[in-house]
Chains A and B, each alone.
Chain A
Amino acid sequence: MTLFTKVIGAATGAALTCTAFAAQADVLFGSTQANPVEEQQEMREQVLSGFGSPVDYQSNDGGAWLTRLNAELQAGSGSIGALGALHGDFSAMNPDDLVDLTDLGLSSNSEKFNTLAKLGTDQMQYVPWMQASYIMAANKQALQYLPVGADIDALTYDQLIQWTANVQEATGEPKFGFPASPKGLKHRFFQGYLYPSYTNGVVRTFASDEAVVAWEKFRELWSHTNPGSTNFSFMQEQLLSGDAWIVFDHTSRLAQAFNDRPDDFVAFPAPAGPTGRGFMPVLAGIAIPRTAPDMDAAKALVTYLLKPETQIATLRATNFFPVIDVALPDDLPPSVKAAGAAVAKMSASADANPGLLPAGLGDKGGDFSRVYVDTFERIILAGQDIRTVLDDQKVVLDGIMKETGARCWAPDAPSEGACPVE
């Protein structure tokens, strides 16, 4: 095994050296976003080709991305010029490792995003780059089973459960699909959708009686969920294969279904609970590490990515929406139109209860999400008692909040110090 590891290590080392040499002249854009091969291709050919000088776009898994970046930061010299990642990836970093981008004069059209991009300092540590959200999508075949009187654009969780039950009764198979695999984004559903919709909070109300109701409801929904969901991470695949008819996922993880067969699927807002229609945004940003080999070229790239034309090209390539005010052209791909309409309906609904991204958690963002994933695995998969699990996990969550001192974010009521778990 050791020999094997060593051989692999040597090979990786050699490969990295080769890439480093090859990439020296270009700006290396290391990203955790636009990871699927087709999106990488689009990024290179449609988005970055207009930059003037060549850009070496390398998209990686969050872990690999951070490992390489940290190695470069520790070594004090690096080859990565610009970083593209989620807000959560950046907030796990030391702000000093990112170059202050305030003097570029770039910002998004959302003050909330601009504040998040400061990472708790008073300067722009990254520039908001693109945004997305999570929505629901369904196969049109499922529409006939909608409960009587239900409006697909204003569903409640009860109606959704009824709907999935109707579908199961009619087809004999559970057809709700949920991205519950290790790479799936299930934790965002709990943090941004289920909890806000039932408890009007995420942290404060973690173990409240309303939370027990929320989990009971989710357990009910789960009984109409394809049990294979624990292997699903991109719900577009199950929509296309027909394994799931009604699904929840990130807009860009549903895109392929709409683009391949635009007439077969509908996109619609997330359901509402007793405390409103909870939903949350996804925010990606661009930053420059302090070890960037060519600072000017990297800054030029950041500026280029925030141009209206580039933002629209990025939208086409990745299904992430612009963060600046742009006039969207009419010939956008079907996925963008469908997702854009659903998100717009969701935010404009009377009972909208928008949440914010977790802030101030630093490198504990992973542990924070793990609390929700563990709660899911224990309650839903292992069938443990809801109250017991919540009381158990509450201690862990409280520890994380106290350790980081993170204040409450919407929809939780603001707090003086660390957000308390009540």
Chain B
Amino acid sequence: MNARYLPYILILPVTLFLCVFFLYPFVLVAQQAFTTGSGFTFDNFREITSHWKFPISLTNTLLLAAAVVPVQLALALLMATMVSRMGKGRDLVLYIWTIPLGISDLAAELIWLAIFEQSGFLNTMMSGLGVIDKPVNFLSYEHPGVVFLAIALAEIWRATAIMLVILVAGIGLIPKEYYEAADVFGASKWKQFTRITLPMLRPSLQTALVLRVILAFEIFAVVAALGGTLFPVLMGETYTYQFDLLNSGAAAAMVLVILAISIGFTLIILRILRVPKGASI
């Protein structure tokens, strides 16, 4: 076989798979979003954006991403640095930290629901300690702040591990010579972190952030389990359009809005964390 064609032949199955199961459905969805039965139209978009809940769910989604992703980034960096300095037991710690990754997100949220519910662990514990004299309903419309906090907490617990895994791999790729040289010149550990680890970690940070931010905009199960309708988010509204209102056009439009936001943020992250041409590790 001609060696020139080999790479193309090798990526052919994946390409075909993506075309059939991703590109084609995507084109159909896009088509659905721009039609209502009578040709090209923006009606679906007008419909979803004029609904009173749209601005609320958009703000909620952005706010949640803004609150969750930075915390996760900081945590993941901290955990990754800790893990990379470990000798014995490194694998064990890594396994334990990545357990949340192995749990389906809905199951994870049910665990958190069991904690925050009126008859949940937190209430039992607090009344056992005598902090409260009767169970408090944390997840009610009266405490929107607590609902937000619970969702953010659950999301941080569940999805930090995915960033951790990427960053641990990234840190492992940084050559030791840099640190040895830094030691020779007497750079402090913090300086080594900010001057060597962070810059060299750029490609991994890029990947981790892009992945997390996109997932943050798709947040659904957590909110459905903990907030119900108390905390509308874009993906939840999409579900409502598709399955409760049986309005696929509006649901498709909603999905495209989420896609647009995701692409926008991906481009921003790629731009900010770009690796200059020629520089590589």
Contact = CB atoms under 8 A, between A and B. Distances in A.
B228 A230 contact: yes
A5 to B, nearest CB: 9
Interface string B115-139: 0001100000000000000100101
Interface in A215-230: 226-228, 230
Contacts of B139: 228, 231
Nearest to A89: B246
Interface string A166-186: 000000110000000110000
Looking at B52, B134, B139, B246, the one whose CB has the most chain A CB atoms below 10 A away is: B246
Interface in B201-259: 211, 214-215, 218, 224, 228-230, 242-247
A367 B245 contact: yes
A6 B141 contact: no
Contacts of B53: 374
B142 interface: yes
B110 to A, nearest CB: 13
Interface string A83-104: 0000000001000000000000
Interface string B129-170: 000001001011110000000000000000000000000000
B140 A63 contact: no
A22 interface: no
B229 A377 contact: yes
B40 interface: no
B8 interface: no
Contacts of A92: 246
Interface string A229-243: 011000000000101
Contacts of B230: 230, 381
A374 B245 CA distance: 13
Contact of B140 (A61, A230, A366): A230
Contacts of B243: 61-64, 67
A223 B93 CA distance: 49
Question: Chain A: interface residue count, which band?
Answer: 20 to 34
A228 B228 CA distance: 11
B131 to A, nearest CB: 18
A374 B141 contact: no
Contacts of A264: none
Given A62-B243, A227-B137, A374 B218 contact: no
Contacts of B24: none
A370 B245 CA distance: 8
B229 A63 contact: no
B38 to A, nearest CB: 13
A226 B135 CA distance: 12
Given A182-B228, A230-B230, A9 B140 contact: no
A352 interface: no
Contacts, number: 61
Contacts of A377: 229
Given A92-B246, A392-B52, A1 B218 contact: yes
A6 B21 contact: yes
B229 A230 contact: yes
A66 interface: yes
Contacts of B142: 227
A172 B137 CA distance: 14
B95 interface: no
A241 B118 CA distance: 11
B22 A230 contact: no
Contacts of B134: 172-173
Interface string A343-369: 000000000000000000001001100
A74 interface: no
Nearest to B143: A227
A63 B244 contact: yes
A247 B214 CA distance: 42
A66 B245 CA distance: 12
Nearest to B250: A367
A378 interface: yes
Contacts of A144: none
A330 B242 CA distance: 44
B244 A366 contact: yes
Nearest to A231: B228
B214 A1 contact: yes
A6 B141 CA distance: 36
Contacts of B137: 226-228
Contacts of B17: 6
A366 B52 contact: no
B247 A228 contact: no
A374 B50 CA distance: 14
Interface of B: 17, 21-22, 52-53, 118-119, 134, 137, 139-142, 211, 214-215, 218, 224, 228-230, 242-247
12 contacts: A1-B211, A6-B17, A63-B242, A64-B243, A66-B246, A228-B118, A228-B140, A231-B228, A241-B119, A243-B118, A363-B246, A374-B53
Given A1-B215, A230-B229, A366-B245, 15 more contacts: A1-B211, A6-B17, A63-B242, A63-B246, A66-B246, A67-B243, A92-B246, A181-B228, A227-B142, A228-B139, A366-B246, A366-B247, A367-B245, A374-B53, A392-B52
Nearest 5 Cβ contacts at the A-B interface: A63-B243, A366-B245, A227-B140, A228-B137, A381-B141
